Amino acid sequence: MAKKYWRIRGYKKFDTIVDITIPFGNLMERNLQELLKCFAAKETLSYEEIVGAYVKRKTRRAHDILHVQKNGPYPEYNCGNDPSFVAIVVDENGDRVKYPPLPTY
């Protein structure tokens, strides 16, 4: 069975600013999402903006600047605009892991 990894990349404009690979079992999806938020906050936000990302929704300070989005049928997460941070699942060669299609009935 091939080993799987999370590959986390950060992009600013068209440049890669971070490229990290972590064994898949070492980082749960919830923690991965928090890590992406942390990276995005570190690069762009003020303390006040970070607070706004964590306070209760629909309050005066609340906003979605650090919203983590899950895309597609494969685990892919992204957070931020510029810079943006993306996490995908790859194999030991760095190729994206392909999952079998869901059955149709």
Assess if residue 86 is contained within a domain: yes
Q: What is the pLDDT of residue 85?
A: 96
Assess if residue 104 is contained within a domain: no
Assess if residue 97 is contained within a domain: no
pTM reported for the whole predicted model: 0.84
Assess if residue 19 is contained within a domain: yes
Assess if residue 8 is contained within a domain: yes
Closest of 62, 76, 74, 81 to residue 33, by C-alpha: 76
Residues contacting residue 27 through CB under 8 Å, at least 6 positions apart: 6, 35
Q: What is the pLDDT of residue 54?
A: 87
Sign for the pseudo-dihedral over CA of 8, 24, 90, 30:
negative
Note down the domain range covering 9.
4-91
Assess if residue 98 is contained within a domain: no
Assess if residue 100 is contained within a domain: no
pLDDT tens track, the chain, 105 positions: 579 999 999 999 989 999 999 999 999 999 999 999 999 999 888 899 889 888 888 888 888 888 999 987 778 999 988 899 999 999 999 998 887 777 788
Residue 4 φ then ψ, to 5°: -120, 150
Closest of 43, 72, 44, 48 to residue 60, by C-alpha: 48
Structural domains in the chain (count): 1
